[in-house]
Amino acid sequence: MCGIIGYIGNKEASKILISGLEKLEYRGYDSAGLAVIDNKENKTSEINRNNNGNKTNNGNKTNNNNNNTLHIFKSKGRVSRLYSAILPGKIGIGHTRWATHGLPADKNSHPFLDEKKEFAVVHNGIIENYLELKEELREQGVQFSSETDSEVIVHLLAKHYSGDVKDAVLKTIRRLKGAYAFCVLKNNSEEIIGARNGSPLVIGLGNNENFFASDVSALVEHTKNVVYLNDFELSRIRHKDVEIFDFNGKKKELKIKKIDWDLEQAQKSGYKHFMLKEIFEQPQVIAESLKLELEIKKIPFLMPKKAEEFENKSLQKIILVACGTASYAGLVGKYLIEKIARIPVINETASEFRYKDPLVSKDDIVIAISQSGETADTLAAIRLAKQRGAKTLGFINVIDSTIAREVDHVIYTRAGLEIGVASTKAFTSQLVCLYLLAFQLAGKKMNSSSLIEKIKETLSLNKEIKELSEQYFNYSNFLYIGRNMNFPLALEGALKLKEISYIHAEAYPAGELKHGPIALVSEETPTLALCPQDEVYDKTLSNIEEIKARKGKVIALATQGDEKIKQVADNIIFIPKTDPIFYPLLSAIPLQLFAYHLADRKECDIDKPRNLAKSVTVE
């Protein structure tokens, strides 16, 4: 969470930083800020924008030195609040915040300055020992201006500085515990230092200009040549020069990579929201992901003959680790692999995994599922699995992301750039990989011949679902139910509704209702029931009857041609008939559209829902 950026070159830094921060805004949008230096005057100016959007100039403060001016502008709210920041200068750093410590407020916005206002710092991550560091610095007389954990970094830097910024950074990081990527700017200098331990940081290499950013989306309009910093590395960038060091200060080699996508993917292309565009991209995305069959076949530790080894217990289990939507994809994967390949699978919530001393050994295969490839908990789960000798595989969307680089084998899910904070096409691409994996492990060929046509047909339900949203957008609570491999889809549908429309929704296996949640059923709480014609259809139908007998409204997701459902459900969304194993893929689409249209009807900020960020790089 939080996005950071740095620029050094011959162009106006503010513009480049603001445009980069807009690309990084999916990482957090509680506040934003910039620090820029120019070399005209010897002043530091600090401007905050108060909650009414009015400038509150904190005064120009003169530095002791006669060189570069350090200008700061920061504000609670979106990056667009920075548009009025005309800060002169060609070197700068910027930040967009997802609040962890301290409310979203001007004073908690980055960059932070030391007391002499010589250093500016932007930080992504959590400094876990900040309270103890703060106490120590306070005892030395340091005055803090914010409630954040990040501010300790800048005061430590000032304390450790004795002429070389890189050395001060090295000394500072020895004191820090936790996860971080941060960038440091010092007045009177022509360099930016960035350091990484646990949060992503990438360097963009330009022509007489260089960049730092939390991810490549902020760099791609300027350069396609990038270097991914690894944990325990720091970098010093100057106009014409980029160097990397380890945390002992030893110089390392630059490993330059080429980005192979461009900004076109980051446009809404006429859609009202990125989320809607991304929902409609699913036929192409799924077609692309289906092409991964050959790649999955080649993964050495997934050869079908190994399936027998599972039976012989020499390979003990598959463990799927992921968070949120990706972990619901994992749950579908568990049902699929156990059903199709008859291999035991454990689906673990990554945020729980490492704290429960998991049973994972060298015989196991641990598979991370992640759109961003940066989710801190999923990354930590993979690191633990590797420590214990397990083989690791990643189903990852973002190329060269941290998890992609750390797993033994990566399959890129091919969803393309996903900008909407609520995951849609990344989810269905993960599902496709899990289908392919299940068939590969079973040594069988998957028949997906008419799947893409059916996905397209399902998307044509959009208008009907929009109309349905008129009837339902005013409800405050929903239940979602499903059985078997449609149960994870109920979880995913409920999550989509919660996160973008702020309507409370809970999901249960349909058979669990009578064990408690049926007490919630009333005229005020509608149920969305996933009831396609599969082997548990009759059972789910009975659960719907139980809801109707208690005056609950039911929206059923059912199979075209199903006559029985018409007699029980209040509203029906008919999806095309298919091989029952593919219903989760088809059902995902109306669930996404239902959440989307309810949220749109409520005029919610769909692509940037409150309190959320797309990439969760803190625990």
Residues in contact with ligand F6R by the rule CB under 6 A? 323-326, 370-372, 375, 378, 422-423, 495, 499, 615-616
- For residue 570, how far is the Cα from the chain centroid? 36
Closer Cβ to ligand F6R, 124 or 375, answer by number: 375
Closer Cβ to ligand F6R, 378 or 527, answer by number: 378
Catalytic status, residue 604: no
Q: Taking a C-beta distance cutoff of 8 angstroms, is the pair 419, 389 a contact? A: no
Helix (H) or strand (E) segment spanning residue 318: strand 318-322
CB of 325 to ligand F6R, least distance (A): 3
Give the span between the Cα atoms of 185 and 113, in whole angstroms: 10
**Smallest Cα–Cα separation from 461: which of 556, 554, 573, 586?**
573
Closer Cβ to ligand F6R, 430 or 486, answer by number: 430
Query: Which amino acid, 388?
Result: R
- Alpha carbon distances (Å) from 167 to 170, 172, 194, 236, 557: 5, 8, 12, 11, 61
Query: Which amino acid, 484?
Result: N
**Smallest Cα–Cα separation from 195: which of 162, 151, 231?**
231
Out of 2, 183, 433, 604, the active site residue is 2
- In the bound state, the residue with its beta carbon closest to ligand F6R is 324
Q: Taking a C-beta distance cutoff of 8 angstroms, is the pair 510, 540 a contact? A: yes
Out of 306, 334, 553, 614, the active site residue is 614
- For residue 236, how far is the Cα from the chain centroid? 27
Closer Cβ to ligand F6R, 329 or 521, answer by number: 329
Query: Tokens 């036929």 identify what position?
Result: 283
CB of 408 to ligand F6R, least distance (A): 18
CB of 546 to ligand F6R, least distance (A): 30
CB of 58 to ligand F6R, least distance (A): 36
How many CB atoms are closer than 10 A to CB 603?
A: 8
CB of 25 to ligand F6R, least distance (A): 15
Catalytic status, residue 2: yes
Give the span between the Cα atoms of 493 and 528, in whole angstroms: 9
**Smallest Cα–Cα separation from 273: which of 138, 419, 396, 109?**
419
| Integer Rg of the chain from CA | 26
Q: Taking a C-beta distance cutoff of 8 angstroms, is the pair 304, 293 a contact? A: no
Closer Cβ to ligand F6R, 324 or 576, answer by number: 324
Torsion of CA 294, 299, 301, 306, to 10 degrees: 10
CB of 413 to ligand F6R, least distance (A): 10
- Alpha carbon distances (Å) from 55 to 48, 70, 106, 515: 6, 18, 11, 57
Closer Cβ to ligand F6R, 47 or 415, answer by number: 415
Torsion of CA 511, 515, 518, 520, to 10 degrees: -130
Closer Cβ to ligand F6R, 552 or 584, answer by number: 584
CB of 372 to ligand F6R, least distance (A): 3
Could you list the active site residues?
Answer: 2, 614
